[in-house]
Structures are given as structure tokens and as C-alpha cells.
Amino acid sequence: MCRWLAYSGTPVLLETILYKPEHSLIDQSLHARMGVETTNGDGFGVGWFGPEMTTPAIVREIGPAWSNRNLREIAGHVRSSLFFAHIRASTGSPVQQTNCHPFRHGSWMWMHNGAIAEFDRLRRDLALAVDPRLFPDMEGSTDSELMFYLALTLGLEDDPPAAVARMAGLVEEIGHEHDVEYPLQMTVAVTEGRRVWAFRYSSRQESRSLYYSSAVESLRALHPDLPFLRDASDGTRLIVSEPLGDLPGVWNKVPESSYGVVQPGGDAMYPFTPQPA
């Protein structure tokens, strides 16, 4: 499986989040603690929004993140208030640039950890459900990108939670038609540049790990000595596959079968249930 993080808040250099924490995403690329694999070296990607940018910039490479000098260079010079980062451990799809996350369509950006079970058997039926107008835009061969385009087909740009629920319902429906008992495993992050939605769900009810950071005002009281917190806005949040360190009170587990939204004016958590497509 993979590891990912989503950041929304006060503009920061990417390296502040990607490299500097004790158990940063770069450290997780070699020493993941909660994933199926401890090493995530089958490529990486970073996507970010900058000032006055209506579409995210995307950088993806097929080599491991821990040794990529270009990533370190970018991370030390790019500042963003909203960015995604993903390190990949392939579940069978080829190691190629177009299979690295995050994926982009217009202003929308998507990344995923998990898998569609028996994807080789389900892939054709799922692909036929993608809007023909969107189908030519798919570049890779992963279940993750196909899930993104199914969600776009099912109304992601109008109502992200409902579209992801219908996508999950469709995957499970087609999976069950092919006698796959537990078709879907996913933690997903998606954004349009202003809000971030994060989903944790699996058909077996044993989802991959997902955490969110506590409110900044609470963290300042707990850890007044942390320089990052002095400048962080109250709305700053991180959503991560696994905690970036062991500081008490910082990380909270996203409940099973739930989704959260980080947005101006306040965050919220809701139950998540797949719906008929």
C-alpha cells in the first residue's frame, strides 16, 4: 500500500512538512510503521496550489522519494497553503509516472491508499462506467485513477461526498457481481483548491490507517515550544496516513467508515456509507 498526507492552512515551505518532522513522509518512504509494507519506493508525487492558481501544479517521479534531489530542491523553495504528497508502494500496477499520485483533472486533485480487490477482473466493467467525455483523460492503469474518474463521472465537482459514496457503491456492486466478497479498501483525499475531503472506508471494515491533527489552539497549549505552531493559523490541519511524530495530543484517528472536510469556517466529520450509483 501507500502513505500520503494532505496539508491545509498557513502557507509553509513544503519541506516543513515533508522533511522536518521526526517521522516525516520521507522517513515513512523507508520506515513506515502502519502500512502493509515498511518501504514505499515505487514512486512519489506532490501537488500544490499557489497564489492565484486555479489548478494545482503536479510533480511525479517513479523513483523513491528518499533519494530524489529534485524533490528536496522543490520542497525547500515552494510555499503553499494547500498541498498533497504521496509515496507509492505498488499493488500490481506498473511503476510508471502516470501511475503515481496525486491525479489531477482541472482544478481537482485526488490521491488514494488501498486497492480494489481482484482489479484485473473488475477493471473492464468499471472502466465502461466512466463518462466517455472523461475517458480519454485517464493516463495510467491504476485502480486509484479509475476511482477518481468514476467519482468525476458520478458528480464529484457538484457534491464530493455523494459522488465518492456512489463510486464506492459501484465498485462494491460490480465486485459482488464477480463474486468478490470485499471489493474495496480506501483512504482517499480530494480537493478543489479550497476545501479538502478525506475518506476512510473498506468493505471488510478494516480500513488503512488515517489521522488528522488536533486544532491548533489546543496544540499551542500542549506544546508552546513548537515554532511551527506560533505562526500557524487556527484553521491549519494535516491529514496523514500515519502520524508524523509521537507528540501527545497531536493526532486523532479518523473513525472507520467516516469522512471529514477541512474548509474555511470550520471542519467537520461525518459517517460514510456507499450508495447505489
Helix (H, G, I), strand (E, B) or coil at 127: helix
Comparison of pLDDT for 75 and 64, the residue scoring more: 75
Residue 41: per-residue pLDDT: 60
Give the chain's count of helices (H) and strands (E). 8, 13
pLDDT digits (tens, 9 = 90+) for 226-236: 777 888 888 99
Least confident among 95-109, 184-198, 237-251, 253-267: 237-251
> What band does 237 get if pLDDT is binned at 50, 70 and 90?
very high
> What band does 217 get if pLDDT is binned at 50, 70 and 90?
confident
For the full predicted model, state whether its pTM sits above 0.75: yes
How far apart CA 171 and CA 119 sit, in angstroms, is 10
> What band does 120 get if pLDDT is binned at 50, 70 and 90?
very high
Spans of all domains in the chain: 3-271
Superfamily for domain range 3-271: Aminohydrolase, N-terminal nucleophile (Ntn) domain (3.60.20.10)
- What b-and-e string marks burial along 164-202, b requiring 16 or more CB atoms within 10 Å of the CB? bbbbbbbbbebbeeeebeebbbbbbbbbbbeebbbbbbb
Q: Pseudo-torsion of CA 106, 124, 122, 240, nearest 10°?
A: -20
What's the order of all strands across the beta sheet hosting 268-271? 103-105, 108-116, 184-191, 196-202, 258-262, 268-271
How far apart CA 83 and CA 236 sit, in angstroms, is 12
How far apart CA 84 and CA 80 sit, in angstroms, is 10
Tell whether the torsion through CA atoms of 108, 101, 235 and 55 is positive or negative.
negative
Measure CA of the first residue to CA of the last residue in the chain; give whole Å.
Answer: 26
Characterize the bridge pairing of strands 3-13 and 79-87: antiparallel
How far apart CA 3 and CA 128 sit, in angstroms, is 29
Residue 94: per-residue pLDDT: 80
Omega prior to 102 cis, within 30 of 0: yes
How far apart CA 261 and CA 252 sit, in angstroms, is 14
How far apart CA 99 and CA 242 sit, in angstroms, is 22
φ/ψ (deg, to 5) at 249: 80, 0
How far apart CA 51 and CA 43 sit, in angstroms, is 27
With vertex at residue 43, the alpha carbon angle to CA 37 and CA 47, rounded to the nearest 5 degrees, is 115
pLDDT digits (tens, 9 = 90+) for 95-113: 899 999 999 999 999 999 9
- For all residues of the chain together, what is the average pLDDT? 92
C-beta atoms surrounding 265 within 10 Å: 5
How far apart CA 53 and CA 74 sit, in angstroms, is 17
Closest CA to 188 of 208, 159, 158: 208
